[in-house]
Structure 1
Amino acid sequence: MAINQTDYDIVIIGTGAGGGTLLHRLAPSGKKILILEQGPYLPREKENWSATEVYGKERYHTHDQWYDKQGTAFRPQMSYWVGGNTKVYGAALLRLRERDFEAVQHRDGISPEWPLKYADFEPYYSQAEALFDVHGEDGNDPTAPPRQTPYPYPAVSHEPRMQEIYDGLKGQGLKPFHLPVGLKLNETERALWDCIRCDSCDGFPCLVRGKADSEVNAVTPALTYPNVTLKTEAKVLRLLTNESGREVTAVETQIGGETVLFKGDVVVVSCGAANSAALLLRSVSDRHPNGLANSSDQVGRNFMKHLTTAMVALNAKKNESVYQKTIAVSDFYWGEDGYDYPMGFIQNTGNVLPDMMPAEAPGLLASLLKFVPRLDVDLGPQYQAAAQHSVGWWFQTEDLPDPNNRVRVVNDQIHLDYTPNNTESTQRLVHRWIDILKAVDRADHVLPFDLYPRSSSPIQVLGHQCGTCRFGEDPTTSVLDLNCQAHDVDNLYVVDSSFFCSSAAVNPTLTIIANALRVGDHLLERLG
Structure 2
Amino acid sequence: MSSPDILIIGSGMGGATLAAALAPSGRKITILERGETLQDCPEARDPKAVFTGFFNPKESWQDAAGGSFQPNNYYHPGGNSKFYGAVLMRYRAQDFSPLRHMGGTAPGWPITYDAFEPDYQAAEEMYQVRGALGQDPTEPAHSGDYAFGPVPHEPDMLDLCRRLQAQGLHPSALPLGVDIDLWLKGGAQTFDGFPNTRGGKMDAESIGLAQALRHPNVTLLTGAKVTRLLTEGRQVTGVAFEKDGVAQVISAALVCLCAGAVKSATLLLASGGALHPEGLANSSDQVGRNFMNHNITAVLGVSPFRRNRSVYEKTIQLNDWYLTGGPKGEPLGNVQMLGRITGEIMAAESGLPLWVSRWLADHSVHLMTMSEDLPNPESRVFLRDGKIVLQWQRSNWQAHLALNAKLAAVLKRAGWPVVLQKTFEKRTPSHQCGTARMGDDPRTSVVDPWCRAHDLDNLRIVDASVLPTSGAANPSLTVAAVALRVARDILARG
TM-score in same-fold range (> 0.5): yes
**Residue matched to 1:471:** 438
Give, in whole Å, the separation in 2 of the partners of 1:399 and 1:429. 14
Give, in whole Å, the separation in 2 of the partners of 1:469 and 1:324. 35
**Residue matched to 1:232:** 222
Number of corresponding residues: 492
Give, in whole Å, the separation in 1 of the partners of 2:477 and 2:373. 19
**Residue matched to 1:103:** 98
- Which of 139, 148, 156 is the equivalent residue of 2:143? 148
**Residue matched to 2:281:** 293
- Asked if residue 207 in structure 1 is aligned to residue 197 in structure 2, the reply is yes
Give, in whole Å, the separation in 2 of the partners of 1:472 and 1:399. 18
- Offset of residue 523 of structure 1: 1.1
- Asked if residue 52 in structure 1 is aligned to residue 48 in structure 2, the reply is yes
- Offset of residue 459 of structure 1: 3.2
- Asked if residue 349 in structure 1 is aligned to residue 345 in structure 2, the reply is no
Q: How does 1:366-377 map to 2 (within 5 A)?
A: none
Report the secondary structure of 1:241's partner residue. Answer: strand
Give, in whole Å, the separation in 1 of the partners of 2:198 and 2:58. 26
- Which of 498, 501, 505 is the equivalent residue of 2:472? 505
- Which residue identity is paired with 2:437? R
Question: Percent identical across equivalent pairs?
Answer: 41
- Which of 315, 333, 355 is the equivalent residue of 2:322? 333
**Residue matched to 2:267:** 279
- Asked if residue 462 in structure 1 is aligned to residue 429 in structure 2, the reply is yes
Q: How does 1:60-209 map to 2 (within 5 A)?
A: 60-185=55-180, 190=181, 196=185, 198-209=188-199
- Which residue identity is paired with 2:409? D
- Which of 336, 346, 359 is the equivalent residue of 1:385? 359
Q: Contact 1:102 / 1:114 at 8 angstroms: preserved in 2?
A: yes
Q: Contact 1:13 / 1:19 at 8 angstroms: preserved in 2?
A: yes
**Residue matched to 1:371:** none
- Offset of residue 337 of structure 1: 6.9
- Asked if residue 415 in structure 1 is aligned to residue 389 in structure 2, the reply is yes
Structure 2 CA distance for partners of 1:361 and 1:142, relative to 1, 3 Å = farther
Give, in whole Å, the separation in 2 of the partners of 1:430 and 1:308. 10
Give, in whole Å, the separation in 2 of the partners of 1:123 and 1:12. 24
Give, in whole Å, the separation in 1 of the partners of 2:334 and 2:169. 13
Report the secondary structure of 1:261's partner residue. Answer: strand
Of the two, which has the highest radius of gyration?
Answer: 1
- Which of 310, 321, 324 is the equivalent residue of 2:298? 310
Q: Contact 1:361 / 1:453 at 8 angstroms: preserved in 2?
A: no
**Residue matched to 1:400:** 374
Q: TM-score, normalised by structure 1?
A: 0.91
Q: Contact 1:354 / 1:386 at 8 angstroms: preserved in 2?
A: yes
- Which residue identity is paired with 1:241? T
Unaligned 5+ runs, structure 1: 366-379
Q: Contact 2:343 / 2:358 at 8 angstroms: preserved in 1?
A: yes
**Residue matched to 1:427:** 401
Report the secondary structure of 2:4's partner residue. Answer: strand
Give, in whole Å, the separation in 2 of the partners of 1:288 and 1:519. 26
Report the secondary structure of 2:489's partner residue. Answer: helix
- Which residue identity is paired with 2:310? S
- Asked if residue 26 in structure 1 is aligned to residue 22 in structure 2, the reply is yes
Give, in whole Å, the separation in 2 of the partners of 1:161 and 1:272. 37
Give, in whole Å, the separation in 1 of the partners of 2:342 and 2:329. 37
Give, in whole Å, the separation in 2 of the partners of 1:403 and 1:221. 37
> 1:335-356 CA deviation, whole Å, 9 max, x = no partner?
2274421111000000111121
- Offset of residue 517 of structure 1: 0.4
- Asked if residue 519 in structure 1 is aligned to residue 493 in structure 2, the reply is no
Give, in whole Å, the separation in 1 of the partners of 2:300 and 2:294. 19
Give, in whole Å, the separation in 2 of the partners of 1:337 and 1:103. 17
- Which residue identity is paired with 1:203? G
Q: Contact 2:102 / 2:326 at 8 angstroms: preserved in 1?
A: no
Structure 2 CA distance for partners of 1:487 and 1:69, relative to 1, 3 Å = same
- Runs of 4+ that moved beyond 4 A: none
Structure 2 CA distance for partners of 1:337 and 1:33, relative to 1, 3 Å = closer
Q: Contact 2:183 / 2:191 at 8 angstroms: preserved in 1?
A: no
Give, in whole Å, the separation in 1 of the partners of 2:324 and 2:189. 33
- Offset of residue 205 of structure 1: 0.7
Structure 2 CA distance for partners of 1:437 and 1:47, relative to 1, 3 Å = same
Q: TM-score, normalised by structure 2?
A: 0.97
Give, in whole Å, the separation in 2 of the partners of 1:161 and 1:382. 21
- Offset of residue 165 of structure 1: 0.6
Give, in whole Å, the separation in 2 of the partners of 1:61 and 1:178. 31
Q: Contact 1:400 / 1:502 at 8 angstroms: preserved in 2?
A: yes
- Which residue identity is paired with 2:141? P
- Offset of residue 453 of structure 1: 2.5
- Which residue identity is paired with 1:351? R
- Offset of residue 387 of structure 1: 2.1
**Residue matched to 2:255:** 267
- Which residue identity is paired with 2:434? G
**Residue matched to 1:17:** 13
CA RMSD of aligned residues (A): 1.5
